[in-house]
């Protein structure tokens, strides 16, 4: 197995590690990142674009406390293994989907959907089912827990 960390540039490593928790909250976050790292805003934008294109990161943006701004739900689907990657791409194309991941379970594709209202959320969930051609199970949050998804990346 190839060690993917050897393919990251110094700038990519800094972007991946340094801004997991403290993305600048401003009208110009990428310019602020560039200033902190001593590079141009274009270099930051190109780096983020490359990392997204390579599938290393899926999105750059804030994470809000669930249901404080809009509404959200965890959803799960049971997808045949040979269709899993295709359905995951379909789901990821929805701007309301924060992330998705595979689990070793009958319901093997899980994702979080956030919308501006219950009505919008219901529409998005219905559209996901229509586009994916598989039913989904919505699991709205009953009690919230904070799980820090940031990692202190250790580069060899």
The region, left, alpha or beta by phi > 0 then psi within -120 to 50, assigned to residue 67 is left
**How far is residue 100's CA from residue 103's CA, in Å, rounded to a whole number?**
10
Asked if residue 82 lies in contact with residue 134, where contact means CB atoms within 8 angstroms, the answer is no
* Alpha-carbon distance values, 115 to 27, 61, 128, 130 (Å): 22, 15, 13, 18
Cα-Cα-Cα-Cα torsion 92, 144, 19, 9, nearest 10 degrees, comes to -50
Reported as type and span, the H/E element at residue 97 is strand 97-102
Asked if residue 30 lies in contact with residue 48, where contact means CB atoms within 8 angstroms, the answer is yes
99, 105, 126, 131: which one is catalytic?
99
Alpha helices in 38-144 (DSSP H): 41-53, 84-92, 118-132
Q: Is 99 among the catalytic positions?
A: yes
Any idea which residues carry the catalytic annotation?
A: 99
């Amino acid at each position: 197995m190839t060690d993917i960390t050897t393919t990251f540039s110094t700038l990519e490593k800094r972007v991946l590690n340094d801004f997991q928790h403290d993305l600048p909250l401003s009208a110009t976050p990428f310019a602020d990142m560039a200033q902190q790292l001593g590079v141009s805003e274009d270099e930051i934008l190109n780096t983020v674009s490359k990392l997204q294109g390579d599938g290393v990161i899926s999105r750059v943006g804030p994470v809000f406390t669930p249901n404080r701004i809009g509404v959200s739900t965890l959803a799960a689907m049971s997808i045949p293994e040979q269709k899993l990657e295709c359905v995951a791409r379909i789901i990821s194309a929805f701007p309301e989907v924060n992330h998705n991941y595979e689990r070793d379970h009958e319901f093997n594709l899980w994702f979080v959907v956030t919308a501006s209202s219950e009505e919008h959320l219901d529409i998005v969930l219905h559209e996901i089912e229509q586009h994916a051609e598989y039913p989904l199970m919505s699991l709205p949050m009953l009690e919230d827990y904070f799980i820090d998804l940031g990692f202190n990346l250790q580069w060899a």
